[in-house]
Amino acid sequence: MLNEYTLNDRDFHKISDLVAQKTGIVIDERKRAFVHGRLGRRVRALGLSNFAEYCSFLDSPNGHVEHGMLVNAVTTNHTSFFRESHHFDYLARTILPTAADSGVERKHRFRIWSAGCSTGEEPYTTAMTLCESRLPMDRWDCKILATDLDTNVISHATEGVYDAERIQTIPPDLRKRYVSMESDGRGAMNDALRSLITFKPLNLLEAWPMTGPFDIIFCRNVVIYFNKATQRTLFDRFADMLHPDGWLIVGHSESLTNLTDRFQLVGRTIYRRVR
């Protein structure tokens, strides 16, 4: 049973240090029970007797494969369609009309990055908002890049099929237009949305293969897991990846105050690059 595995201080610090090294995510003592529950399953799946053996396995020649499983296990992926809906209201009412009015300047190109996209609800919501906007999609080159550290959620997002209760937060009229109901009651995102989104695994602490520039970066409820130094570095990299007047949208409990001077607050957890 999982509760037979004891996670002592040494093993907990070994695991938390490895996660911080690989991802920048800070796991403090308050998360010990969470780590115990998530990684206890890995200990059992590998046929090991305890966390000490698991830590030894992580250091073994074959342990690098388990590093990915470790990261997937301890990553929190809480999301929903139209979560923090004011962001999508602002996208529809302010950002996209602004883009439409500057079509020539932007060369009719519009790029969005969903950084930390989890199981895909955020980029699919963004795609619905794009499709419903007055941006002439037939004459614009619009694309959404959606990335996440967790390869399991990227697979789920790419599949684009969600349980019935997950799609209930999509407004009924949009659900009717953009979701196809399957025989088992699940909802599949339609091709109009899929064609706009590219899903890729990406560790935000590592090199970014894309060159940008992006018009919008969504990075919501991600940086709360990083320390202040990592947040400062990340916000600076986001600024470099945005158009000079691009937008950065963060989560409801996140703020750029005292972390960077490259953005100006223009809405509720909505920032615009100023330099």
Q: How far apart are CA 161 and CA 21, in angstroms?
A: 33
Indicate if 38 belongs to the active site: yes
Question: What is the DSSP code (8-state) at residue 182?
Answer: P
CB burial class (10 A; 0-12, 13-18, 19+) of residue 86?
Answer: middle
- Residue 168: how many CB atoms within 10 A of its CB? 13
- Catalytic hit among 32, 38, 166, 232: 38
Q: Which two tokens stand for residue 216?
A: 């919008």
Indicate if 148 belongs to the active site: yes
- Catalytic hit among 42, 83, 148, 150: 148
From the list 232, 200, 224, the residue with the least C-alpha distance to 113 is 200
Q: How far apart are CA 148 and CA 143, in angstroms?
A: 17
Which residue, chain included where needed, has tokens 């004011």?
Answer: 86
Q: How far does CA 275 lie from the centroid of its chain?
A: 25
Would you name the residues annotated as active-site residues? 38, 148
